Chain A
Amino acid sequence: MSPRAAWRLEGLGFERVYDYVPGKADWFASGLPKEGRLASVPAIGDAARREVPTCAPVEKIGVVRERVRKMGWDRCVVVNKERVVLGLLREKELLSDPKVPVEEAMRNGPATFRPNEPVGNMAKRMQDLEATAVLVTTSDGRLVGLLYREDAEHLAGVQM
């Protein structure tokens, strides 16, 4: 639809016409602001904890474990320089051999969710799956934060 609109505008004499090809699905999935009747529906991007610890795949497990513990967390997200999520270290992986590089111990390719998912739906889904936390990323895989079920339930007003 937008390519036809862009061509039409050019035909009407506009010289600088751009087509935002991935469209509003991409915009909303990145957690960027929006307007409209549904814009105020709470989404998981609003509840995700953005200060979640991160590490690089080449770091040693022992170094990461110490840093994560000092921050008071029990898990760490493995990201590259672009903050694209590569893996996850949960308590179990953090207890691996401290000399091992993160990339050898991490849980590869964890499931991720977009920040514009309605928080009520996600709270229910996490209850059904008995998930305590899920990763929230943009549509191009960049880390937004970690969503805990208790936060989703609180924001959605869902009964535990």
Chain B
Amino acid sequence: MPTAIFRDGVCRLVQEEGAQLVDVLPREEYEEEHLPGAINIPLKELDRETIARFNRDAPVIVYCHAYQ
């Protein structure tokens, strides 16, 4: 089951464990503003091909705008 995480946890996982940040919003919204280092894979495009570049040994943190 995915784990809910909050701001402090995001900072810790990125800094200490090299977590990969994934913005699942549409491309236009990502291009306007996103978290530092995040990559964009819109929810509709999330499949085996688009995630092939992920490091499976590191945590993955997904986010959208807020509680969506």
Do A and B assemble together? Answer: yes
| Interface residue ranges, A against B (CB under 8 Å) | 1-10, 12-28, 30, 32-39
Please name all residues of chain A whose beta carbon is closer than 8 Å to the beta carbon of B6 when the two chains form the complex. Answer: 20-22, 26
A26 touches B7 (CB 8 A): yes
C-alpha gap A3/B13 in the complex (Å): 18
In the A-B complex, the 4 residue pairs with the closest CB atoms: A6-B2, A25-B66, A20-B63, A1-B64
Q: How large is the interface on B (under 10, 10 to 19, 20 to 34, 35 or more residues)?
A: 35 or more
Q: A20-B62, A24-B23 are in contact. Are A14 and B35 (CB under 8 A)?
A: no
Please name all residues of chain A whose beta carbon is closer than 8 Å to the beta carbon of B47 when the two chains form the complex. Answer: 12
Contact with A along B37-64 (1 / 0, CB 8 A): 1100001001110010010101111111
Main secondary structure of the interface of A (DSSP, over half): mixed
Q: What is the distance, in angstroms, from B14's C-beta to the closest C-beta of chain A?
A: 10
C-alpha gap A20/B67 in the complex (Å): 9
C-alpha gap A32/B6 in the complex (Å): 14
Q: What is the distance, in angstroms, from B67's C-beta to the closest C-beta of chain A?
A: 6
B24 touches A30 (CB 8 A): no
C-alpha gap A17/B62 in the complex (Å): 8
Please name all residues of chain B whose beta carbon is closer than 8 Å to the beta carbon of A6 when the two chains form the complex. Answer: 2, 62
For B30, B61, B62, the residue with the greatest tally of chain A CB atoms inside 10 Å of its CB is: B62
Please name all residues of chain A whose beta carbon is closer than 8 Å to the beta carbon of B64 when the two chains form the complex. Answer: 1-2, 5, 23-24
